[in-house]
Structure 1
Amino acid sequence: MKRPVVSAPLLCLLPALALVPVLIVVGQGLHGGGFETWWRFLQGAVQPSKDPLLLKSLWEGLQVTLATALVGWGLSTLIGLLLGVFSSDVLWESAKIPTWPAAAIRSLLALPRAIHELLWGLLLLQVLGLHPWVAVAAITIPYSALVARVFRDQIDSIDRRRLTAVLQSGASAPAAFVSSIGPPLQPILLSYGGYRLECALRSATLLGVFGLGGIGTELQLTLQSLRFAEFWSGLWLLILLSVLLEQGLTFWRHRQQTNPSQWNGVSVLTMTVLAVLVGGHWLQQLLPTSGTTLQLMLPPLPDISALQLAATELPWLRMIEQTMRLTLLAAGIAIALPPLCLLIFPGRIAKQVFLGLWTLQRVLPPPLTLLMLLLANLPSLALAALALGLQNAGVMGRLLVEGLDQQSPGTMKAIEVTAAGPRQAWLLGCLSPQSRSYLAYGAYRTDVILRETLVVGLVGGTGLGWMLIESLSSFHWAAVLLIIACFALLTLAGESISDGLRQRWLRTPGESAST
């Protein structure tokens, strides 16, 4: 007897059950004194400040954020591509060398990839002090490892028959590798490179929220001081920049698909080098101190006795339990909210409204969303999960709409002919064909959310993030080291689980049943 199997479209909606406990706790934590503050906050959206001095300061902060993102993106793409090539088994096999160096490089890249860019920023801030290039380094280090992993996976999955044929023709190993692996890798470089640029802009904004400069710092200060009109002036500027970047990258991908010969790997690499040079010069012009020498201030390394004492003092079970609960609740909201909204309101106008809301959710860093919610609510793990889930729901919603727009409308029209309702037609004709790829990306997004629990934990007073900031503020380096190690192990374990789930959902139904 076969066990019942839940269909993929239903699995896209079932995580919405996470909203039930979250909304119950958030509803119980509401207090009337914050509603007036919320009303003034909404008024600021339609009546932003137009003060010339403020706009000048916001414009300078926006330029710092964009320059930081460009340099971090360019450096991480170049470094990640090189590391991805050298960590691939194909490179060493083509040169008839044992593949242990590739395995060693992959192992070394696991740690920087597992640590969130915010944590890198906080650590580098302690070591190097407040310097503009700290934010650049905080983006470059984890992004390089992430890019390397993606490129390495793509290189090792490419059909090697062409490489073997070129090698047998007498070509050298480097020439054969570049000529046979380069062309299939170009579309990945184009699409994934654009995606990482969007992520770099969000990361640069987030680092600014925690005091590393840019428009994020301006948004944090205005929101904490309840100057909502000034806050919305900066937020509208950031939204405009994000929309322009998204539209530019969409146009770039479309041109690459329609005219693939116009764009190649060399042109993209040239653009990344220009991004580093232009962004670095731009950052130096905006912040003249970016050209000064960095001051290295290494903290004292804890000894074994200090580590043992910290290990017994820290509440490990409570911290890990809160972090995992925060991850699952936020992931449930992020995965289920976009398809649930489109199912309840399946019209075109509603879709455009949701796209606008999801853009706002993507642009606004989770700590600022959490601070907004705290205006009329008591702090809780559920509130932190809601803030983190809403930001990631914006990312998932955009991905879902892009997938729906690319598929043929024939299936939905055929279902509509059978007199099915609009919601049933959307569920079976639109969501069903996209459900497996959507769930695969949802598994990856859950891994990202696990890393980002650090971000809201610093503000919401929960999980490993809260204990980390407490240890950093008291210079308890033994506890800092142990918490970072624990967080890295959790994220690497989550990465392994999400990889397995992604591979499962990306299989065809027939393959899944036969394995």
Structure 2
Amino acid sequence: MLEKEAKLVSTKRILFFFVIATVLIFTYYQSELDFPVLMQQGDNMGEYMRSYFPPDFSDWNYYFSETLITISMGIWGTLMAAIAAVPLSILASNNMCPVWIVQPTRRLLDAMRAINEIVFALVFVVAVGLGPFAGVLSLFVNTTGVLGKLFSEAVESIEPGPVEGIRATGANQIQEVIYGVIPQVMPLWTSFTLYRFESNVRSASVLGIVGAGGIGVSLYQSFGSFEYQKVCAILIILVAATGTIDLLSAKVRQWLV
């Protein structure tokens, strides 16, 4: 009996590795990977990268103000998404709601995060016009889908004891969530939100390409006019801003979590 079980497990493992190998080979050709071409074009890439230096910081004041707009977009897009993700994550958790509520909520979250922020930005630019507001709305929708998924997974991994104890006192479902669920998941929720904020600042820097405000507008214009030294300056400012946000987020996580 044990030999049969061992053979079955071994067969499953072989089948699993065969499927993985097949998928990797298939996706390799689908992606048209050609590393020798990359090596052959190394000289061209080097010459292109040299055109970025030295960076042109002549408009650094303007770039800095646009970067602040980009960070502001990231802050509000993340904050609004975190607020909306809380009730949605409860509705998407199997241990909190029945399946006829969980499944539609999960499909809604899937749709929100499946579509890239740039696509949402194009829609909102038409709705509210050019500018940062369209960028904030696009970040809000996409991030709600991401945080809703992460928050719901955190809710599904809680210890049931505290919730059952609160339920035994005659508390309603809202009180169970407030006093039994949220205290357990708040550290994870905070960490997820801060990580997503860092990601949203990077995403917001690209949304300007479609007119959604921020430093992306200047970045797109500089690329379009072949002013690569200005592009380099913008990228350096973005890297510095992202690094600063990363350090501050780490401090906040240590303080809150």
Tell me if both proteins adopt one fold, taking TM over 0.5 as the criterion. yes
Matched, 1:186 2:193: no
Which structure 1 segments of 5+ residues have no match?
A: 6-10, 93-97, 258-515
Aligned 8 A contact 2:155 2:185 in 1: yes
Aligned AA (1:48): P
Q: Percent identity?
A: 20
Q: Name the structure 1 match of 2:214.
A: 214
| Number of aligned residues | 239
Secondary structure of the structure 1 residue equivalent to 2:211: coil
Aligned AA (1:114): A
Change (3 A) 1:164 1:234: same
Q: Name the structure 1 match of 2:118.
A: 118
Q: Name the structure 1 match of 2:4.
A: none
Please report the TM-score for the alignment, with normalisation by the length of structure 1: 0.42
Q: Name the structure 1 match of 2:50.
A: 39
Q: Name the structure 2 match of 1:240.
A: 240
Cα distance per residue 1:25-55 (max 9 Å; x no partner)? 3345x397775443222xx2xx32232xx11
Alignment partner of 2:91 out of 86, 92, 111: 86
Offset at 1:63? Answer: 1.4
Quote the Cα distance in structure 2 between the aligned partners of 1:132 and 1:201.
12
Aligned AA (1:110): D
Matched, 1:227 2:227: yes
Q: Name the structure 1 match of 2:56.
A: 49
Matched, 1:22 2:34: yes
Secondary structure of the structure 1 residue equivalent to 2:34: helix
Alignment partner of 2:67 out of 44, 59, 62: 62
Quote the Cα distance in structure 2 between the aligned partners of 1:154 and 1:147.
10
Quote the Cα distance in structure 1 between the aligned partners of 2:163 and 2:87.
19
Aligned 8 A contact 2:131 2:213 in 1: no
Aligned 8 A contact 2:132 2:214 in 1: no
Quote the Cα distance in structure 2 between the aligned partners of 1:123 and 1:131.
13
Aligned 8 A contact 2:133 2:212 in 1: no
Q: Name the structure 1 match of 2:102.
A: 102
Highest RCO, 1 vs 2 (Cα 8 Å, sep ≥ 6): 2
Relative to structure 2, which stretch is displaced further, 118-127 or 30-39? 30-39
Aligned AA (2:203): S
Quote the Cα distance in structure 2 between the aligned partners of 1:37 and 1:153.
45
Offset at 1:71? Answer: 0.9
Quote the Cα distance in structure 1 between the aligned partners of 2:197 and 2:180.
27
Secondary structure of the structure 2 residue equivalent to 1:146: helix
Cα distance per residue 1:376-406 (max 9 Å; x no partner)? xxxxxxxxxxxxxxxxxxxxxxxxxxxxxxx
Offset at 1:168? Answer: 1.4
Change (3 A) 1:164 1:226: same
Which structure 2 segments of 5+ residues have no match?
A: 1-6, 15-19
Q: Name the structure 1 match of 2:154.
A: 154
Q: Name the structure 2 match of 1:138.
A: 138
Quote the Cα distance in structure 2 between the aligned partners of 1:108 and 1:222.
38
Q: Name the structure 2 match of 1:198.
A: 198
Aligned AA (1:50): F
Please report the TM-score for the alignment, with normalisation by the length of structure 2: 0.80
Cα distance per residue 1:108-162 (max 9 Å; x no partner)? 3322221111111123334443243111111111111211111112212322232
Root-mean-square deviation over aligned CA pairs: 3.0
Secondary structure of the structure 2 residue equivalent to 1:171: coil
Aligned AA (1:187): P
Cα distance per residue 1:404-445 (max 9 Å; x no partner)? xxxxxxxxxxxxxxxxxxxxxxxxxxxxxxxxxxxxxxxxxx
Secondary structure of the structure 1 residue equivalent to 2:55: coil
Secondary structure of the structure 2 residue equivalent to 1:50: coil
Offset at 1:79? Answer: 0.7
